[in-house]
């Protein structure tokens, strides 16, 4: 009788353990498939002369936003160009459900490294009390496209 009880208890525990284990496995598989089945959202697709898609100004995927480079294509100094770029960045972030405070990384491309100080004066404080990581470089021969003195792109979360 004792052996029969033990065998019965073993079967019950094995059944419970198997069910619980499979439950966790099923939840994990569901989480993975939900994540991988998401498609990116695309905003503001830029097209070339033949009306074919060339690039998007904003892509959203899995809670992250990727903003393409933003420049300032008008006459002005580094401070006015930087201010314009940052205002456009804020507008695009907010339009896609994020904000300047949620920016994780910014890449800054200067037409001339001599503009670094002026760009910094305008950049400072625009991302809240926890600023993003940043890389700043001066571009090689040819400058920033479109005669902008500065171009910036970023990655943010929603």
Phi, psi angle pair for 54, to nearest 5°: -110, -55
Average pLDDT of the residues in 60-76: 96
Strands 64-71 and 53-61 turn out to be: antiparallel
Half-sphere exposure of 127 (CA within 13 A, CB side): 19
Segment 86-118, tens digit of pLDDT: 999 999 999 999 999 999 999 999 999 999 999
- Topology, domain 41-157: 60s Ribosomal Protein L30; Chain: A; (3.30.1330)
Residue 5 scores a pLDDT above 60? no
Q: Six-digit token pair at 76?
A: 């002005």
Residue 19 scores a pLDDT above 90? no
Report the C-alpha gap between 45 and 16 in whole angstroms.
53
DSSP-derived letter for residue 144 is S
Q: Name the average pLDDT for the chain.
A: 82
This prediction's pTM: 0.71
Q: What per-residue confidence (pLDDT) applies to 1? A: 53
Length of the chain: 158
Report the C-alpha gap between 103 and 71 in whole angstroms.
18
Residue 63 scores a pLDDT above 90? yes
**Span between the terminal Cα atoms of the chain, in Å:** 62
Q: Six-digit token pair at 104?
A: 């994780």
Q: What per-residue confidence (pLDDT) applies to 87? A: 98
Strands 103-110 and 64-71 turn out to be: unpaired
Average pLDDT of the residues in 70-94: 97
Average pLDDT of the residues in 29-34: 41
Average pLDDT of the residues in 59-78: 96
- Between vectors from CA 20 to CA 2 and to CA 1, what angle results, nearest 5°? 5
Determine the 3-state secondary structure of 40 from DSSP. Answer: coil
Q: What per-residue confidence (pLDDT) applies to 49? A: 65
Residue 58 scores a pLDDT above 50? yes
Segment 116-155, tens digit of pLDDT: 999 999 999 999 999 999 999 999 888 898 889 999 999 9
Q: Where are the domains of the chain?
A: 1-37, 41-157
């Amino acid at each position: 009788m004792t052996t029969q009880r033990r065998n019965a208890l073993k079967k019950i525990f094995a059944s419970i353990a198997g069910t619980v284990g499979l439950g966790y496995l099923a939840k994990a598989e569901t989480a993975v498939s939900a994540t991988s089945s998401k498609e990116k959202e695309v905003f503001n697709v830029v097209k070339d002369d033949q009306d074919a898609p060339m690039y998007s100004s904003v892509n959203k995927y899995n809670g992250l936003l990727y903003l393409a480079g933003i420049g300032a294509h008008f006459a002005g100094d580094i401070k006015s160009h930087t201010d314009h770029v940052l205002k456009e960045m804020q507008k695009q972030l907010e339009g896609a459900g994020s904000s300047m405070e949620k920016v994780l990384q910014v890449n800054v491309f200067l037409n001339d490294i001599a503009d670094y100080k002026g760009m910094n004066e305008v950049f400072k404080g625009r991302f809240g009390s926890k600023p993003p990581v940043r890389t700043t470089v001066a571009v090689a021969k040819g400058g920033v496209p479109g005669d902008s003195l500065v171009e910036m792109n970023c990655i943010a979360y929603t």
